Amino acid sequence: MDAKTLESDALTAIAAADTTDAIETVRVEFLGRKSALKQALREVRDRETGMTLNAVRERLEAAVDARDDELARAELDRRLTTEKVDVTLPAGGGGRGHLHPITQIRREVEDIFLGLGYRVVDGREVETTRYNFDALNFPAGHPARSPQQSLFIDDKTVLRTETSPSQIRTMEAQQPPIYVVSLGRCYRRDTPDATHTPIFHQVEGLVVDEGVTLADLEGTLDFLLKKLFGEERRTEFRTHDFPFTEPSIEAYVSCHVCDGDGCPVCRHSGWIEIGGAGMVDPKLFEFVGYDPERYSGFAFGWGLERIAVLRHKIPDLRELWRNDLRLLRQF
């Protein structure tokens, strides 16, 4: 191979390259692993030829780099003049977003209760076992007190397993009459499936006043269920059991999909279970220093995800946490 001819051929090609892509092709052709020059360098047997070829290689590398720089700068200049952006122009229609379905339901429930004269109060997501269990009359050894079911931070601190501790905090902070709702995240050590996620939202309601009865509770829940699922719905209340209410009930609404005729959503029963409620157990009043002879109250705690999947007929509750825009854009 004639080093002189090779070098002048390469220099001609370098000068002729007019884009950074073209110079890359030249680099591969003359300096790449399979180029004649690299081939020759691998076969060198004497020192003098080696030095000559290496000197050619170095000069060609420098020439390629220099041309590459020059072309890159020219390309940048060209882009800067042709792709000029006027940042003072109004931004093009980016499309408005909207609230997540859970936030929509949360606000809707808040609005319903604000309309009834309730206040919205905040609770704490990180709670003490005192507020999350003791004050709510959970007996020692109740399964919810176990790290198998609840997420503990330490012996005395737990991620709230329900919004009910807000009942105690509200009663401690004020005297009756109390008409409040409290909405937010709760945590349980559940394996995610179609009906469970370890993080979920609840709405807690609490009323304490003189002469509050079970009929007041059922009337309030009937009103809420009709607002959420339609005025034509019927409601039903069945007995249940919670440590902090006595008596305890579970609210049911007639199926909004089949109107009670029976379908897969209501598992062919015509009724859909919504969530728990009951009359505040007088033991809670003792805990916060209210006179149980004078006051009575009711409470309820429902899952917002459950309301959302029922209303929107979403088959799997986990969908609400995937943040897939194809789902979220529908609501």
Nearer to ligand PHE, 123 or 176 (CB): 123
Nearer to ligand PHE, 123 or 301 (CB): 301
Q: Which residue is nearest to ligand PHE (CB)?
A: 301
Angle at 176 between CA 172 and CA 179, to 5 degrees: 95
278 binds ligand PHE (CB under 6 A): yes
Longest dimension (CA), the chain: 111
DSSP state of 116: T
Q: What tokens appear for 308 in the block?
A: 């959302």
Closest among 204, 183, 226, 222 to 280, alpha carbons compared: 204
Helices 304-312 and 101-115 cross at an angle (nearest 10°) of 110
Q: Long-range CB contacts (< 8 A, 24+ apart) of 161-164?
A: 161/132, 161/186, 161/187, 161/188, 162/132, 162/186, 162/202, 162/204, 162/301, 163/123, 163/202, 163/203, 163/204, 163/301, 164/136, 164/204, 164/244, 164/299, 164/301
245 binds ligand PHE (CB under 6 A): yes
Nearer to ligand PHE, 30 or 298 (CB): 298
**# residues near ligand PHE by CB under 6 A:** 11
281 binds ligand PHE (CB under 6 A): no
242 binds ligand PHE (CB under 6 A): yes
Least CB distance to ligand PHE at residue 86 (A): 56
Nearer to ligand PHE, 38 or 189 (CB): 189
Stretch that binds ligand PHE, among 27-35, 68-76, 77-85, 240-248 (CB under 6 A): 240-248
User: DSSP string covering 13-48, please?
Assistant: HHHH--SHHHHHHHHHHHHSTTSHHHHHHHH--SHH
Residue 273 CA to residue 254 CA, distance in Å, equals: 9
Residues 200-239 as x/- pattern, contact with ligand PHE by CB under 6 A: ----------------------------------------
Residues 41-70 as x/- pattern, contact with ligand PHE by CB under 6 A: ------------------------------
127 binds ligand PHE (CB under 6 A): no
Residues 142-171 as x/- pattern, contact with ligand PHE by CB under 6 A: --------------------x-x-------
With residues binned 3-state (H G I as helix, E B as strand, rest as coil), the percentages for the chain, rounded to 5, are: 45, 20, 35
Stretch that binds ligand PHE, among 24-32, 173-181, 224-232, 241-249 (CB under 6 A): 241-249
In the region spanning residues 299 to 318, those forming contacts with ligand PHE, defined by CB under 6 A, are 299-301
Instruction: Give residues in contact with ligand PHE (CB under 6 A).
Output: 162, 164, 242, 245, 248, 276-278, 299-301
